[in-house]
């Protein structure tokens, strides 16, 4: 879009792009919006108590979006995406305005934010970051990951459609991409690709369709570019087999 000042996305210095900031970047490409990324130094223990963080978000988690075109500051990735679609998708390309579809969109959006995000996040935490191995917690969240995939798969099977709502790709489809993209490399054992394809085939095809979308490809390249630019910040993660001692 011409004449817009670049929107600012904040994230932590963690190598690459963690899934919630990555989610926002997909929309910035999808809506063709200029943006710049700003980074908080996670190694500073007081970073959450200092400016500019305290004025940006009370929660201390990323992403945060600033829009210098109108002075907006927004935290929570779901709210940021709603804002971007409401403000910049003037032709409603990624959304529907009729109540029936609109509330379906909201249902999926809240499911992504309260279901996929936290469960996948806990799976990652208990697998890679918790101070002691807790197999029962690891298993619980892997089961929840599978349950999320099955919810999507069942609904796509039931509707016979290619997308979650209506007959076009909407913003809710795109919201699921970053966390699902991290499943195979970081969250599931070797061979899970076959299980995903066999047990949740409609969900697998839907994810592949989304992977081919230009904005998703660009956001992925952007994320990979930040890893290459700063390999020192990348966290080394063991494979699931190594963690489980197999
Ligand atoms: N529900 C929030 C979650 C934000 C969140 O947890 N972000 C992670 C990065 S993906 C973060 O800031 N982690 C830093 C930390 O936990 O210290 C959203 O979707 O924006």
The maximal CA–CA distance of the chain, rounded, in angstroms, is 56
**Distance from residue 106's CA to the centre of ligand 1 (Å):** 21
Please give the residue range of the domain that contains residue 19. 7-88
Asked whether residue 58 falls in the same domain as residue 139, the answer is: no
The answer to whether the bond into 63 is cis (omega within 30° of 0) is yes
Kindly report the length of the chain: 246
Nearest CA to ligand 1 atom 12: 61
For residues 92-109, average pLDDT: 98
pLDDT, one tens digit per residue, over 107-159 is 999 999 999 999 999 999 999 999 999 999 999 999 999 999 999 999 999 99
Domain-located, residue 170: yes
Whole-angstrom distance, CA of residue 52 vs CA of residue 50: 6
Number of structural domains in the chain:
2
pLDDT, one tens digit per residue, over 157-187 is 999 999 999 999 999 999 999 999 999 999 9
Tell me the CA end-to-end span of the chain in Å, nearest whole number.
52
Banded pLDDT at 207 (limits 50, 70, 90):
very high
Whole-angstrom distance, CA of residue 56 vs CA of residue 69: 16
Domain-located, residue 70: yes
Domain-located, residue 28: yes
Whole-angstrom distance, CA of residue 201 vs CA of residue 223: 27
CATH code where residue 183 lies: 1.20.1050.10
Residue 231 has pLDDT above 70, yes or no: no
Domain-located, residue 50: yes
Q: Is 12 in the pocket of ligand 1 (CB under 6 A)?
A: yes
pLDDT, one tens digit per residue, over 13-29 is 876 679 999 999 999 99
pLDDT, one tens digit per residue, over 30-43 is 999 999 999 998 88
Which pLDDT value is given to residue 241?
A: 80
């Amino acid at each position: 879009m011409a004449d817009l000042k670049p929107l600012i996305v904040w994230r932590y210095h963690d190598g690459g792009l963690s899934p919630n900031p990555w989610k926002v970047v997909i929309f910035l490409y999808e809506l063709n919006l200029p943006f710049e990324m700003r980074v908080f130094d996670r190694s500073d223990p007081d970073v959450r108590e200092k400016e500019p963080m305290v004025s940006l978000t009370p929660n201390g988690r990323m992403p945060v979006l600033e829009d210098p075109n109108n002075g907006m500051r927004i935290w929570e990735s779901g709210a940021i995406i709603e804002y971007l679609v409401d403000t910049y998708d003037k032709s409603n390309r990624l959304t529907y305005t009729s109540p029936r579809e609109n509330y379906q969109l909201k249902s999926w959006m809240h499911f992504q934010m309260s279901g996929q995000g936290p469960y996948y996040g806990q799976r990652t935490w208990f697998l890679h970051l918790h101070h002691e191995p807790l197999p029962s917690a690891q298993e619980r969240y892997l089961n929840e990951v599978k349950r999320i995939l099955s919810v999507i798969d069942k609904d796509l099977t039931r509707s016979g459609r290619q997308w979650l709502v209506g007959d076009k790709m909407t913003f809710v489809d795109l919201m699921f991409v970053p966390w699902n993209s991290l499943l195979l490399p970081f969250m599931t054992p070797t061979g899970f690709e076959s299980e995903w394809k066999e047990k949740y085939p409609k969900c697998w095809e839907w994810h592949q369709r989304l992977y081919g979308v230009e904005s998703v490809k660009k956001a992925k390249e952007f994320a990979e570019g930040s890893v290459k630019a700063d390999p020192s910040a990348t966290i080394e993660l063991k494979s699931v087999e190594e963690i489980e001692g197999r």
